């Protein structure tokens, strides 16, 4: 089941409803003017969708509302601290990164030119990560094995400025069943 | 398309993130081999990574392991790997073999093995242009 939020409702600080913010005091995500952003600059501000997705193999997508924002979608969020994978459109021109217990690591520079309205999707499948801009993959697939589970997805704002994010979407990946047994070949 | 053994530097914050020490350029990717997966910048006992960069790197902290995935590992490369990763030995012949060995059967108390994709049953190992699909045999406890 897909989870989505267009944030078109009354302001919330912290972001509420289906969301929980993480990151410590002063690091809330807030809903302001039908978009979300950090409540305070200079902090990691992350939020996850409260209901777990049905699989650790899933994606999260957000829409940037300005160019090269210091923010992005997150997957495999741990709910008890800031552990997750993310894409950051500002970091080194764009990078796939991870936070493990709050420690920020760049895994791959995936430079792209981001504009207001662009969709950023981060996909995790097994130990493979992919980033997409408007449906087109940025760079090659990436391997990281440090977050094997976690069923939550969300978004982060890394607070260099007030980065607005809109139109969240998350879902599990469509996984065709593995066919067991012998392969058969049709004869036409 | 060179591949290197390196280590992490940085405080692990957004303003000073962990990045491969000495890396230059705007197109690179890594496989993180820290023992704690990156919970601490120094890695909790093993501070190591495998780096692919589109351009040759000159920093002395980066040890060149191969220019292509089929390259045979050198004695110097294997020595660097055993020292940096705390391994008794490296038996892999090629860089591709090394990736499979390290990521499907890591040493105890080090980094985690790669997971299989549910739709294929195969685990993928990706580093720059290298893309390996392999079977992961679950250990029996």
Query: Is the residue at B50 inside a domain?
Result: yes
Q: Which residues of A touch B (CB under 8 A)?
A: 44, 55, 57, 70, 91-93, 97-98, 100-109, 111, 125-128, 139-148, 158-160, 173, 175-178
CA A138 to chain centre: 15
* Better-predicted residue by pLDDT, B140 or A123: A123
Per the confidence metrics, is the pTM higher than 0.80?
yes
Taking contacts as CB-CB distances below 8 angstroms, the residues of chain B near A57 are 117-118
A98 falls in which pLDDT band (50, 70, 90)?
very high
Q: What are residue B113's DSSP bridge partners?
A: none
Query: Is the residue at A91 inside a domain?
Result: yes
Number of domains in chain B: 1
Query: Is the residue at A177 inside a domain?
Result: no
Query: Is the residue at B141 inside a domain?
Result: no
Query: Is the residue at A151 inside a domain?
Result: yes
Query: Is the residue at B109 inside a domain?
Result: yes
Chain B CA closest to residue A102: B39
A58 falls in which pLDDT band (50, 70, 90)?
very high
CB < 8 Å & 24+ apart, contacts of A111-117: A111/B26, A111/B27, A112/A138, A113/A67, A113/A68, A114/A64, A114/A67, A114/A68, A114/A69, A114/A89, A115/A64, A115/A67, A116/A64, A116/A65, A116/A66, A116/A67, A117/A63, A117/A64, A117/A65
Give φ, ψ of A61 to 5 degrees. -140, 145
Query: Is the residue at A113 inside a domain?
Result: yes
Q: What is the pLDDT of residues B72-87, one digit of tens each?
A: 999 999 999 999 999 9
| Cβ-defined contact of A143 to B36 (cutoff 8 Å) | no
Model pLDDT, residue B3 = 98
* Better-predicted residue by pLDDT, A43 or B25: B25
Residue A187 scores a pLDDT above 50: no
Model pLDDT, residue B15 = 87
Number of domains in chain A: 1
Range of the domain at A116: 3-172
Query: Is the residue at B10 inside a domain?
Result: yes
Q: By percentage, how much of chain B surpasses pLDDT 70?
A: 96
Query: Is the residue at A53 inside a domain?
Result: yes
Query: Is the residue at A154 inside a domain?
Result: yes
Taking contacts as CB-CB distances below 8 angstroms, the residues of chain A near B41 are 103
Tell me which range, A19-23, A177-181, B53-57, B68-72, is most confidently predicted by mean pLDDT.
B68-72
Model pLDDT, residue A156 = 93
Query: Is the residue at B127 inside a domain?
Result: yes
Range of the domain at B10: 3-134
Q: What is the pLDDT of residues B104-129, one digit of tens each?
A: 999 998 999 999 888 788 999 999 99
Query: Is the residue at B80 inside a domain?
Result: yes
Q: What is the pLDDT of residues A127-172, one digit of tens each?
A: 999 999 999 999 999 999 999 989 999 999 987 677 789 999 999 9
With contact defined as beta carbons under 8 Å apart, do A35 and A10 qualify?
A: no
Query: Is the residue at B140 inside a domain?
Result: no
Q: By percentage, how much of chain A surpasses pLDDT 70?
A: 90
- Assign residue A126 the CATH number of its domain: 2.60.120.560
ipTM summary value: 0.94
Supply the Cα-derived Rg of chain A in whole angstroms.
17
B43 falls in which pLDDT band (50, 70, 90)?
very high
């Amino acid at each position: 089941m897909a989870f989505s939020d267009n944030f078109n409702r009354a302001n919330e600080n912290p972001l509420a409803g289906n969301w929980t913010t993480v990151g410590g005091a002063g690091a809330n995500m807030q809903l302001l003017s039908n978009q979300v952003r950090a409540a305070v600059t200079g902090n990691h501000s992350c939020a996850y969708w409260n209901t777990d997705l049905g699989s650790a193999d899933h994606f999260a997508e957000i829409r940037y509302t300005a160019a090269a924002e210091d923010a992005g979608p997150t997957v495999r969020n741990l709910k008890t601290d800031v552990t997750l994978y993310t894409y950051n459109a500002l970091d080194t021109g764009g990078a796939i990164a991870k936070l493990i217990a709050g420690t920020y690591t760049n895994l791959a520079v995936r430079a792209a030119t981001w504009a207001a309205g662009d969709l950023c999707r981060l996909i995790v499948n097994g130990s493979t990560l992919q980033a997409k801009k408007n449906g087109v993959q940025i760079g090659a697939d990436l391997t990281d094995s440090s977050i094997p589970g976690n069923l939550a997805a969300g978004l982060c704002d890394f607070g260099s400025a007030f980065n607005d994010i809109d139109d969240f979407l998350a879902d599990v990946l469509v996984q065709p069943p593995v066919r067991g047994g012998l392969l058969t070949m049709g004869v036409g | 398309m060179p591949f290197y053994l390196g280590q992490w530097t940085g405080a692990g914050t957004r303003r000073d993130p962990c990045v491969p020490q000495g890396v230059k350029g705007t197109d690179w990717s890594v496989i993180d081999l820290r023992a704690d997966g990156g919970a601490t910048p120094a890695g909790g006992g093993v501070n190591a990574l495998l780096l692919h960069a589109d351009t040759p790197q000159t920093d002395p902290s980066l040890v060149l392991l191969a220019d292509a995935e089929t390259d045979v590992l050198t004695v110097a490369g294997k020595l660097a790997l055993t020292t940096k990763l705390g391994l008794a030995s490296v038996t892999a012949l090629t860089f591709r073999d090394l990736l499979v060995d390290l990521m499907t059967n890591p040493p105890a108390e080090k980094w985690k093995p790669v997971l299989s994709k549910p739709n294929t049953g195969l685990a993928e190992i990706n580093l720059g242009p290298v893309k390996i699909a392999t079977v992961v045999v679950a250990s029996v406890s």
